[in-house]
A and B are shown apart, each in its own frame.
Chain A
């Protein structure tokens, strides 16, 4: 289990990185290396054998978290542990703060990056689900300059995104949660820290007792994170009770067709998606109430 030969490039600017991604004559696959917590194991197992590795860890200015005009910008290289401890994230993106402790283990979060997890687009991972739930804007830079991609358009399939081969993800922009907003991330994994068999990200904004807005996304049940729009619609304008939660969960689960593997059958994943929707929405709403 040792990586195959590759060419290693360590740009110090995004432009250099883009150049390294674009100039690929005969080199084969090019992979961006950020925290490496998924990529390096794939290299060691030789499941990934890129011709070139573009290590973006040396690029400055991608490790900052800022909040401006109600939008939080998280640089792609912000380590998950740093994001989890950030006051800005805890205050303005409570969903991400709730999700981060569920990612792997301490030593993984110390190295793994927010941008890397999103760009890797594992459908069972927490941060892509958070991004989908909150309609994050994913900022990409390529030879043609910078563009912003909505999360709904970003996750295009199994471990695939809308990033083109010569683009890198530079930042994640998420609208700050306002007053009356609560969030919860609930998942079921075989073990503590494992990728979940299914997970649910929920953010609820209350207006008095009624739901002004509910945002829900599900991990582990499809090729990419799934936005539970039927559940969101079912909750909007309603007061949360068991019947409403059942309606929301049932409406969503009926549309899901997860696949089976050794860790959980399709029926199981579908079932717990419903369980987790109820649990996450209820918790998010309770947290929202606390902020009022």
Chain B
């Protein structure tokens, strides 16, 4: 088998693993590291369910190879909430707004919205209006919600009002 040893930092933990070179980053995270929160909805870069943070930016994990992650830093949904059951403010904002239903697309949206919040922290431009938020969310497909509740949750996440409303 055609493999390579790679070293990646995933959710703060450095891992050195031998991977088959044809393995996608998504399969590596899910199958080899057991981090199954990152979901595969289409495996061809359209649905966004597999979105993760790579070196500070949102990227699709289904459209890159695991070997390409060598030396890079990755955050998945598993890396957001602390172990004590406290949700990350982004997750809490989404919960407050009943943003999701079946949950399959959810990790991808959480990471996309988390990415927006990180952009905001870093002084990069972030969407302001609901229309702009919808455009920023356009790379993530949800079949259940019609997105309105996700836009609500994104607004709250960007405003930092999680847990502060009824």
Contact = CB atoms under 8 A, between A and B. Distances in A.
Q: Is the interface of B mostly helix, strand, loop or mixed?
A: mixed
A44 B48 contact: no
Interface in B23-82: 24, 27, 43-45, 48, 51, 54, 57-60, 62-65, 67-68
B65 to A, nearest CB: 7
A110 B116 CA distance: 13
Contact of B22 (A2, A45, A105, A107): A2
A7 interface: yes
Contacts of A81: 57
A258 interface: no
Interface string B120-142: 00001000000000111011100
A18 B22 CA distance: 21
A179 interface: no
A108 B57 CA distance: 10
Contacts of B99: none
B119 to A, nearest CB: 9
B63 A8 contact: no
A90 B6 CA distance: 37
A53 B23 CA distance: 13
B2 interface: yes
Nearest to B64: A36
B48 A36 contact: no
Contact of A41 (B48, B63, B112, B139): B63
Interface string A1-12: 111111110100
B68 A55 contact: yes
Given A8-B67, A104-B139, A105-B138, A44 B43 contact: yes
B62 to A, nearest CB: 7
Given A107-B59, A110-B59, A193 B65 contact: no
Nearest to A7: B2
B57 A4 contact: no
B48 A105 contact: yes
Nearest to A104: B139
Contacts of A85: 124
B115 interface: yes
Interface in A20-71: 33, 36-37, 40-41, 43-45, 53, 55, 57
10 contacts: A3-B65, A6-B2, A8-B21, A53-B21, A106-B136, A107-B51, A107-B58, A110-B58, A110-B59, A191-B138
Interface of A: 1-8, 10, 33, 36-37, 40-41, 43-45, 53, 55, 57, 81, 85, 104-108, 110-111, 191-193
